[in-house]
Amino acid sequence: MIREQERRSLPGIPVLLVLLLILAGSVWAFVSIVKDVPRYERGPLLAALAVIDAVDIFLLCGLFTVAPNKGIVLQLFGKYSGTVKQTGLQWANPFYSKRAVSLRVRNFETQHLKVNDHDGNPIEIAAVVVWKVVDTAEAIFEVDNYENYVQVQSESALRNLATAYAYDAHDEKTVSLRGSTPEVARHLQAEIQERLSKAGVEVLEARITHLAYAPEIAAAMLQRQQAGAIIAARQKIVDGAVGMVEMALDRLAHNNVVQLDEERKAAMVCNLLVVLCGERSTQPVINAGTIYH
């Protein structure tokens, strides 16, 4: 595996000034030769000046600029030679091939993918991924096209994530795509990072931006979701009502307010459950007599 090696290049401005001075000196020398040197002696001198000018122009090709948050990958006849990150005008061997790689933070949003969740329900899901290149050598040499690689692997990780969780869960302890956003986002980021580590990419953030049931089952799943919510709410109401009835019976027995036999306890429990669990307000019925003979 090829790792990034930061390489220091020569400052470009001093090199540019020196090369321009050499070029200006060659022009002055050419004028002097044409003016002062006899014609039969000019040939070797002009040939030397031509060689100097050709070398000078070739060395000028080694100049390149590096913008902030940008790296220039250098290769010498196909061999990796290092990455230049110093900003400004720089100079390196003209034989080096130079390829720019952006180190800035980038983001993209995946397509709306249709997948099945953990319960087998078809859903639509999309996510946004924030990433940046941290190793230019791996980004260039370990994968063919690192930008396309990031997109494809992110969508693959998102599909895998969607199959690991249910769309919704009424149990607070169960992690779901809709109800456990922070946990799902951390899982998605870790899974994408695992896939992109070989490409020299760091995932800064990954979060779901679109989540919905597929259109063909949206109406049915909405009814199912409402029914599940009603059942969950009823379960909590019943649990609370039973607890309140138990507390009432214990308090009555502890304080010796009234002594109730099993039949009267059953009637009291029934009345309290009706009052606590009913959707409408109850109407009291006053018993003027007794239910016993």
In a domain, 288, yes or no: no
In a domain, 284, yes or no: no
270 and 245, same domain (yes or no): yes
Q: Is the CB of residue 222 less than 8 Å from the CB of residue 228?
A: no
Domain boundary among 74, 102, 130: 102
Domain boundary among 67, 85, 102: 102
> For residue 292, which phi and psi values (nearest 5 degrees)?
-110, 150
182 and 135, same domain (yes or no): yes
Write the CATH number for 172: 3.30.479.30
Q: Tokens standing for 194?
A: 């695992």
197 and 127, same domain (yes or no): yes
Name the more confident of 259 and 116: 116
111 and 175, same domain (yes or no): yes
Domain housing 224:
218-277
141 and 225, same domain (yes or no): no
87 and 25, same domain (yes or no): yes
In a domain, 58, yes or no: yes
Q: What is the mean pLDDT of residues 261-277?
A: 68
Q: Which residue's entry shows tokens 């214990």?
A: 250
Which band of pLDDT confidence, cut at 50, 70 and 90, is reported for residue 2?
Answer: confident
Q: What is the pLDDT of residue 74?
A: 95
Domain boundary among 73, 102, 131: 102
Q: What is the pLDDT of residue 257?
A: 67
Listed range (19-23, 46-50, 196-200, 275-279) with the worst mean pLDDT: 275-279
In a domain, 292, yes or no: no
Q: What is the mean pLDDT of residues 59-86?
A: 93
Q: What is the DSSP letter of 97?
A: E
155 and 110, same domain (yes or no): yes
Q: What is the mean pLDDT of residues 185-197?
A: 93
Q: What is the pLDDT of residue 129?
A: 95
Helix (H, G, I), strand (E, B) or coil at 112: coil
Please give the tally of structural domains in the chain: 3
39 and 116, same domain (yes or no): no
How many Cβ atoms are within 10 Å of 61's Cβ, its own excluded?
12
DSSP H/E element including 72: strand 70-76
In a domain, 5, yes or no: no
Name the more confident of 38 and 290: 38
Q: What is the DSSP letter of 124?
A: E
CA neighbor of 269 nearest in space, from 254, 284, 291, 247: 247
Q: Tokens standing for 31?
A: 């004028």
pLDDT score of 42 more than 80: no
pLDDT score of 291 more than 70: no
88-91 and 63-66 strand pairing: antiparallel
Give Cβ neighbours of residue 237 (< 8 Å, ≥ 6 apart).
276, 277
- Measured CA to CA, the distance from residue 50 to residue 169 in angstroms comes to 80
Name the more confident of 290 and 164: 164
140 and 176, same domain (yes or no): yes
Question: Which residues share a beta bridge with 66?
Answer: 88
- Measured CA to CA, the distance from residue 108 to residue 130 in angstroms comes to 7
190 and 122, same domain (yes or no): yes
pTM exceeds 0.75:
no
Burial class from Cβ neighbours inside 10 Å (0-12, 13-18, 19+) for residue 213 reads buried
Give Cβ neighbours of residue 38 (< 8 Å, ≥ 6 apart).
none
98 and 27, same domain (yes or no): yes
Q: What is the pLDDT of residue 96?
A: 94
pLDDT score of 290 more than 60: no
In a domain, 193, yes or no: yes
- Measured CA to CA, the distance from residue 206 to residue 224 in angstroms comes to 30
Q: What is the mean pLDDT of residues 158-176?
A: 84
Q: Which of 181-195, 213-227, 250-264, 276-290 has the highest mean pLDDT?
A: 181-195
Which band of pLDDT confidence, cut at 50, 70 and 90, is reported for residue 232?
Answer: confident
In a domain, 283, yes or no: no
pLDDT score of 155 more than 70: yes
pLDDT score of 217 more than 70: no
Whole-Å CA distances, 291 to 88, 263, 267, 287, 288: 99, 10, 11, 9, 10
Give long-range contacts, CB 8 A cutoff, 24+ apart: 29-36. none
pLDDT score of 262 more than 80: no
Q: What is the pLDDT of residue 224?
A: 66
Q: What is the mean pLDDT of residues 176-201?
A: 91
In a domain, 287, yes or no: no
79-84 and 106-109 strand pairing: unpaired
Listed range (25-29, 96-100, 243-247) with the worst mean pLDDT: 243-247
112 and 17, same domain (yes or no): no
